[in-house]
Every structure is written in C-alpha cells, then in structure tokens.
Homo-oligomer: A and B are copies of this chain.
Amino acid sequence: MKFYSLPNEIPENMLQGMALTHPHLTYLDGTGIMYDNQFDQNHVPIISGGGSGHEPAHVGFVGKGMLAAAVTGSLFVPPKAEYILQTIRQVNHGKGVFLVVKNFEADLLVFEEAIKQARAEGIDARYIVSHDDISVNVYNYHKRHRGVAGTVLLHKILGAMAANGATIDEIQAAAFELSVHIFTLGVALAPVSFPNQKTSFDLAANEVSFGVGIHGEPGYRIEKFESQERIAIELVNKLKHEIHWRHHEHFNDFIILVNGLGATTLMELYSFQYDVLRLMELEGINVVFSKVGNLMTSFDMEGISLTLCPVRDDKWLTALQAETSAFGW
C-alpha cells in the first residue's frame, strides 16, 4: 500500500508541506503555483511544471540558480492554462520569462495557451520544448521525443545562466542548442500502481520493459531480465547511436544523469551508475559531470533512465556545478 493524495486534485498537502519545510518557497493556495520568494528580480525567471507524481520535479528544482517557479497539476495531469498564466505574471519583472515544457500533447496545449495570453498582455514569454526521450512508438516506429529526465539538465543549466545575468535572448539561444544534445532512455522493472486502480501495464517479476515514459506508459520492448549490466549496455548503445545519428560527429566529454523512476533505491542507482561508467571508460568517453538520484520520477515506478549529453559548450558544465538552493537537486 502507499499513501496517496487524491489523484484528481492538486496535491495540496504535499505542496503546503514543501513550502513549510523550505523557507525560500512560497505556495499560492489552491493553484499549484510555488515560487522562490528570494528570487533576484534583475534576472530572467525560468518556469517549469506539469502534472504531479514526478517529485522532486518540479517544485524540488525551484530555488536560486534553478527555477523561479513551478506549477503543478494533479497526478500526471498538467495544470490549467490559467494557473500557468498566473505563474508567468507572478515572476515577470520585465526581463522576459522563459518556460521549460516537457513534450507531451496535454502539456503543450495548456502551456502554449498560457504563453499566448501572456504575450497578449505584453510579457516577453518564450519557451523550449524538452524532447530528450529517444524511445520509439511500437505501433508506427516513430520516435516519441517525449520530455523526460533530461529536462532537469535544462532546469539546472538555464537556471544557473539566468542567475549569472544572462538575457532572455541568451537563455533562449542556449536552450535551443542544449535541448538537441540531451538524450534519454528509460527501463522499467515494475509498472506504476495507480491509487485504487490497476497497474499502468503488465510486467512479470522477471521482465524489464525498455523505453518507458514518466507517466506509466509501457515501453517498446519487454525482455527477460538477464543482468543489470546487460541493461546498461542496451541503454548506452542506443543512446550512443542516436547521438551519432543526429550530430554526425565525435564528442569527447559527456554529462550523464542516472535517474530513478520513483521506487528505485540508491543501491540500485549507484550499482547501475558503476556499470555505465565502466562502459563509458571502455568507449573512451570522458564523463565530466554525473548526477545520480530520483530526480524525475514516474510516481512509484521501479526503474531507471539514463541521460547522455555531449558537451558542446563548456558553459553547460560551469552551470551544472554552480550552487543552488533547490532541495531536489
């Protein structure tokens, strides 16, 4: 059993609990809107958000050097456009407002509507659609390009640049360049178990599903579990090929992110990280920054995603290493 918030409502108690625990966070009751009350108004605010169930994303990334605000909906359901618009207004101080939106149809619909309305009010609202997932749709073999764990790199890097005084033009340019260099693939060991409902898909105890999403979506292939190393090899190979396919060049330095999908222990994540780092070494790849943790979760899913990001610009690295007050980083 798990404790659940009411799945069809904004998780009000969770958000209140976060604001009461972290003094830099202020919550606007009933809206899903959390903002950094110590945000420096000389800087461009970065906003993100979406459905709840991805904790610590996105509220855990609100703080100095990351997001100025996050807006949260009910479980896996994006917030209403009116609350996104209210978030934009809340953090706007005339420097422009930059939003990071995960590439899901439902998210795009409400975020684009809110951005349109903000622009009509004269706010210079711009956005990037994060689309790091390289899994394929089994029905038509199209790439899905969903926005998943790699989105957190956008939060951290753009947030640190903003805190360092970057203009909205500079942030937009960095976002476009960075977002096409982030590649993620996830694997589930167990599906999401929704409150009082069945699981999000069927998976036997000795099976793994490759290419899962962050809302309990099934992957593109189920296999018998052989070893953790075998999974690391599959993810690294797929990501490596995709990076080469898209960029036709060799990169020496990589950022990596080993993300737990919710119920994954640190023992599992760091053992997996070890396998990945050993493969990287065999490939002659230089890992210049790595991060391990449950950062962009799929509620209580047991599983891991791997994100690779070749370093095109050394500023990305400086930004990743910068300090932040966000509790989820």
Contacts and interface: CB of A to CB of B under 8 A. Distances in A.
Given A2-B265, A53-B267, A266-B294, 14 more contacts: A1-B205, A1-B208, A1-B302, A2-B264, A3-B268, A5-B267, A5-B271, A11-B271, A14-B266, A17-B269, A17-B272, A20-B273, A21-B291, A52-B267
Interface in A44-98: 52-53, 55-56, 60
Contacts of A268: 2-4
A2 B303 CA distance: 8
B2 A189 contact: yes
Contacts of A291: 21
B300 A14 contact: no
Contacts of A56: 266
Interface in A12-33: 13-18, 20-21
Interface of A: 1-5, 11, 13-18, 20-21, 52-53, 55-56, 60, 189-190, 203, 205-208, 225, 228, 262-275, 277, 290-292, 294, 297, 299-300, 302, 304, 328
A206 to B, nearest CB: 6
Contacts of A21: 270, 273, 277, 290-292
B262 A265 contact: yes
A55 B294 CA distance: 13
Given A205-B1, A207-B1, A271-B3, A17 B292 contact: yes
Nearest to A75: B267
Nearest to A290: B21
A36 B274 CA distance: 19
B1 A277 contact: no
A17 B265 contact: no
B189 A1 contact: yes
7 contacts: A1-B189, A1-B206, A2-B268, A3-B271, A20-B274, A265-B300, A266-B294
- Scoring A2, A272, A291 by chain B CB atoms within 10 A of each residue's CB, the highest score goes to A2
A44 to B, nearest CB: 27
A160 to B, nearest CB: 18
A268 B277 CA distance: 32
A214 to B, nearest CB: 13
A149 to B, nearest CB: 15
Nearest to A256: B21
Nearest to A208: B1
A228 B190 CA distance: 25
Contacts of A190: 1-2
Given A21-B292, A271-B5, A271-B14, A60 B300 contact: no
A243 B9 CA distance: 37
A274 B13 contact: yes
A275 B302 CA distance: 27
Given A21-B292, A277-B20, A271 B13 contact: yes
Contact of A267 (B11, B208, B263): B11
A200 to B, nearest CB: 15
A36 to B, nearest CB: 17
